[in-house]
Chain A
Amino acid sequence: MSHQLPEHPDWLWRTPDPKRSYDVVIVGAGGHGLATAYYLARNHGITNVAVLERGWLAGGNMARNTTIIRSNYLCEESAALYEHALKLWEVLPQELEYDFLFSQRGVLNLAHTLQDVREGTRRVNANRLGGVDAEWLDTDQVREFCPIVNTSPDVRYPVLGATLQPRAGIAKHDHVAWALARKADEYGVDLIQGCEVTGFLRDGDRVVGVRTSRGPISAGRVALAAAGHSSVLADLAGLRLPVQSHPLQALVSELLEPVHPTVVMSNHVHVYVSQAHKGELVMGAGVDSYNGYGQRGSFHQIEHQMAAALELFPIFARAHVLRTWGGIVDVTPDASPIIGPTPIENLYLNCGWGTGGFKATPSSGWVYAHTIATGEPHPLNAPFALERFTTGALIDEHGAAAVAH
């Protein structure tokens, strides 16, 4: 696990001034915006593209997430979308010519109740039918796979088993963003930081560009990829979205020797833990219940997840917390993303990834680029249209989302 980290980029992309007009303007230079720009160029030959970012490149949730990558979702639609991403993760380091330390160390989702066992075995079966790697481990097998988990029967919520996705894992999120940014830039995409979108240019029912803190920019198509701020932006276009923004936080410990061989998540006692390449334990739990845009979470969430972590991993008892931080995630009523056209011509929407969009970064970009380039959804994102909140064809992934919201 003691990999050498890739060099910090110095500088991997240009910092151009915005042009007056582009074929496509993407709002938000998080992982999803950058992946979209990359695939617009690579898959569709569309390179007259700007990615506008109000802060700094990948400084939003992309910089704040706990980097877990897996595709063991329950519904066919989601498993297909996240599995497409996992397959892309497996080839991207080579394709982008940049090692972002994608480590397929596996993800365990622990079961602590009979209901958890039923949910887990059902999900394993659904995954295998859908071509996603998944296994059910009993308690002894959990101990074998991750010896530091407390599998004693004498705890309040004993470990009754776990799902394992062996191909799942983690990656260095900053490096993912920089790798995508560098390639998009090489294709000629303008990555423009410090440029906030403050409104839309309209021609009747059509969007024809954006207003920004650096002047108006006209665009053939405008694609939102603003994560927690999607509804703030959509409001500016007169569009109301079924998303709510919540603070979600994470924390890391001081650096430790390699002790934690995999990713462990527990929905029931509610904590998830992995060990970063450098050695920090990376932990997270659920969202704060209330809406919020302040990038910090409540202290009681930390207390709650620490209590769970200590019971599951008594070995961590003396680890010190080094840093906590928060991001703003956009949660939909069915815990699934929204990707597709909007009722406003030339305005496209990619949002609602909530607590779990990092793992989807490549496929989100892939299908969104397809949608923007052709005007029609890709088969993988067709079920994730905004209309599902009218038709009722929801994709209920609360169970497999693995973070309470």
Chain B
Amino acid sequence: MLLIACPWCGERDELEFHYGGQAHVAYPADPEGLSDGEWGEYLFVRDNTKGPFAERWSHAAGCRRWFNVVRHTVTHEILAVQSNRPVAAGQPKPVIA
């Protein structure tokens, strides 16, 4: 069971949270211009990193806010918690150290 530090509520057990998958996946800036392949990629393909992975969690049974966590997907160690909003298309993503 993970112990996750909600940026607003502090450390709570995993059961209070809902998992949201990869972080920093921006909605396409120019949806009309996308090919079928690009749409498929946006809808269905996400990173599946073995190692430090930036992902979204929502404190569903608490403050109900979303935030980002960098978690190691082998050790489950939580390396960082970021309360920032998703990065807009074209903006640099936060660096995963």
Contacts and interface: CB of A to CB of B under 8 A. Distances in A.
Given A290-B55, A389-B44, A300 B76 contact: no
Interface in B32-48: 36-37, 39-41, 43-46, 48
A241 B47 CA distance: 8
B40 A390 contact: yes
A232 interface: yes
Given A291-B73, A294-B76, A298-B14, A391 B45 contact: no
Given A289-B19, A390-B37, A294 B74 contact: yes
Interface residues of A, number: 23
B55 A291 contact: yes
B78 to A, nearest CB: 11
B76 to A, nearest CB: 6
Interface string A304-345: 000000000000000000000000000001000000000000
A267 B92 CA distance: 42
A244 B48 contact: yes
B1 interface: yes
Contacts of A299: 1
B48 A245 contact: yes
B45 A290 contact: no
Interface residues of B, number: 26
Nearest to A331: B48
Contacts of A229: 50
Contacts, number: 60
Please report whether the interface of chain B is mostly helix, strand, loop or mixed according to DSSP.
mixed
Interface string A79-111: 000000000000000000000000000000000
Interface string A171-208: 00000000000000000000000000000000000000
Contact of B73 (A293, A390, A391): A293
B1 A298 contact: yes
A244 B44 contact: no
A242 B45 contact: yes
Interface string B64-81: 000000010111100000
Given A289-B19, A390-B37, A244 B74 contact: no
Contacts of B71: 290
A231 interface: yes
A291 B21 CA distance: 8
B73 to A, nearest CB: 5
Contacts of B18: 289
A293 B50 CA distance: 7
7 contacts: A291-B48, A291-B49, A291-B73, A293-B50, A293-B73, A298-B1, A389-B44
The 7 closest A-B pairs by CB, nearest first: A231-B48, A242-B44, A390-B40, A289-B19, A389-B44, A389-B40, A293-B74
